[in-house]
Amino acid sequence: MLVHVNGLGITCIEPEVGHLIKHIDSGHTYKKVFLSKQDSVDNYIQVVDVNYVAEVAVIDVDEVVPNEKLPVAKKELIDLSKALLAEFLLNNPLKSAVKNGEEKFYNVTSEKQNLLYSNIATYQVAQQLGMEFPIVWNSMGEVAEPWTIEEMMKLFIEIKEYVSPIIAQQQEIEKVINNCRNIEELQKVNIEYHK
């Protein structure tokens, strides 16, 4: 895997062709990783991309013609803001008492949100067809257990209320990035998320 510092001074990890970068602890895979200040190259390994079909060209900011550096740098910084958002959501679960009044933590990553929504939609379709669809869900570190549709929908709303202001922070950061007129302004953009 290739580790380099891009034109904005951010450490990037890129896999060799036909590979992905895998986070050792979480098991998540990425096409490219931008390291946060708290992260380390040692937390990642390169793995074979089983879905690899064709080569993808990698653009090095330093090899781009000067008038084209800014759009490339903006895209990289926006990608970094999205990667850091995903990391923030992974590391900051929702505390909720939606299930049986017991406070537990629930993962709020986009993957979990999509799965939760899919379960709710599948349940509703099954109901319209007169079929049963048992819904199960789990808090972090727990085994999946039966849930009511009301509990699932309440958790879905709680997660949306929790993540929407955080996502709005990323959108504001992206707006600031897009308004930058040069690399120096980009280097001053602070990407930080909070609850």
What the block records as the tokens of 149 is: 């549709």
Phi, psi at 61, each rounded to 5°:
-55, -35
Domain co-membership, 101 together with 194: yes
Domain co-membership, 1 together with 88: no
* Number of domains comprising the chain: 2
Domain co-membership, 112 together with 168: yes
Domain co-membership, 143 together with 114: yes
Torsion of CA 145, 108, 37, 43, to 10 degrees: 40
**Which pLDDT belongs to residue 19?**
81
**Which pLDDT belongs to residue 67?**
57
- Give the Cα separation of 171 and 81 in Å (integer): 9
Domain co-membership, 120 together with 32: no
Work out the pLDDT band at 54, boundaries 50, 70, 90: very low
0.95 exceeded by pTM: no
- Highest mean predicted confidence (pLDDT) among 21-25, 53-57, 88-92: 88-92
Domain co-membership, 17 together with 72: no
| Structural domain span for residue 154 | 64-195
What the block records as the tokens of 14 is: 């890129």
Domain co-membership, 159 together with 74: yes
Q: How far is CA 80 from CA 92, 100, 174, 177, in A?
A: 18, 38, 10, 11
Domain co-membership, 51 together with 69: no
Q: Given a cut of 50, is residue 57 above it in pLDDT?
A: no
Do you know the residue count of the chain?
A: 195
Q: For 128-156, what is the mean pLDDT?
A: 95
Domain co-membership, 71 together with 93: yes
Domain co-membership, 39 together with 79: no
Domain co-membership, 75 together with 47: no
Q: Given a cut of 70, is residue 12 above it in pLDDT?
A: yes
CB distance 80 to 10 below 8 Å: yes
Domain boundary among 38, 58, 78: 58
- Collapsed DSSP state (helix, strand, coil) of residue 189: coil
- Residues in contact with 35: Cβ distance below 8 Å, sequence separation at least 6, in sequence order: 10, 11, 12, 13, 41
What the block records as the tokens of 94 is: 């929702």
Share of the chain above pLDDT 70, in %: 90
Domain boundary among 15, 32, 58: 58
Q: What is the mean pLDDT of the chain?
A: 87
Domain boundary among 13, 32, 58: 58
CB distance 85 to 93 below 8 Å: no
- Give the Cα separation of 92 and 165 in Å (integer): 13
Domain co-membership, 103 together with 157: yes
